[in-house]
Amino acid sequence: GDSVTQMEGPVTLSEEAFLTINCTYTATGYPSLFWYVQYPGEGLQLLLKATKADDKGSNKGFEATYRKETTSFHLEKGSVQVSDSAVYFCALSAPNDYKLSFGAGTTVTVRA
Amino acid sequence: NAGVTQTPKFRILKIGQSMTLQCTQDMNHNYMYWYRQDPGMGLKLIYYSVGAGITDKGEVPNGYNVSRSTTEDFPLRLELAAPSQTSVYFCASRDREPNSPLHFGNGTRLTVT
């Protein structure tokens, strides 16, 4: 079935460092891809999405590009802040499917 | 701006007890979902619903039941609590438009001892 694999954490960075979280997927057809973020004590919220190959999603300084040739959707941010400390989830939705499949999540901690 | 509201926030159950986790949304979303989140395991789908009166099993439905009598409410029932059901439970909803985002509640942390 469709699935998402993301890099294991935890990841600890200093402020202004570059962040990348790898995400690869397995799916038939052309899924839509998402990154969700979970701040401490809260539910998940959508960070960005891409619905077709070569689309780039972006929000709050984060970017991810839908790469069909490598079945990847890596998340990047050029200069992280302490407020970016959270758990990040990669997710996939197959065409005409009501459901999302989530990766295991990557915990990111940014130190001042 | 209520969005998705879950109650209670925390609960401790003894083995064999039952309880209902409440979820309500005020966005008139057709689709609603229950996930559980375990450390290092991501989110696993328990049940979902595409509209009032319609429910379907997800990946891990055993030990749970749901109902969807109205568009707004999607309660999750645990009949005989087991330690394996210790987890954080999230309810979510979304619009029927393809690729519309999931809106999550803040979760219920359940401990079964």
Candidate from A36, A43, A93 with C-beta closest to B105: A43
A74-107 tens-digit pLDDT: 999 999 999 999 999 999 998 878 888 999 999 9
Q: Which of A44, A87, A90 to mutate to probe the B interface, most B CBs <10 Å? A: A44
Structure tokens that stand for B87 in this block: 């987890």
| Closest residue of chain B to A94, computed from CA coordinates | B99
Contacts of A89 in chain B (CB under 8 A): 42-43
A23-76 tens-digit pLDDT: 999 998 889 999 999 998 888 999 999 999 999 999 999 999 999 999 999 999
Candidate from B4, B40, B48 with C-beta closest to A99: B48
CB contact under 8 A, A45 and B104: yes
- Rounded Cα gap, residues A23 and A73, in angstroms: 5
B14-48 tens-digit pLDDT: 999 999 999 999 999 999 999 999 987 889 999 99
Q: CA distances (Å), B80 to each of B12, B16, B44, B110, in order? A: 13, 4, 20, 13
Contacts of B33 in chain A (CB under 8 A): 99
- Confidence (pLDDT) at B96: 86
- Rounded Cα gap, residues B41 and B52, in angstroms: 30
DSSP secondary structure of B41-68: TEEEEEEEEEETTEEEE-S--TTEEE--
Instruction: Provide the shortest C-alpha distance from residue A59 to chain B (in Å).
Output: 14
The answer to whether residues B89 and B108 touch, using CB atoms and an 8 Å cutoff, is yes
Phi, psi of B84 (to 5 degrees): -65, -10
CB contact under 8 A, A99 and B45: yes
Contacts of A93 in chain B (CB under 8 A): 99
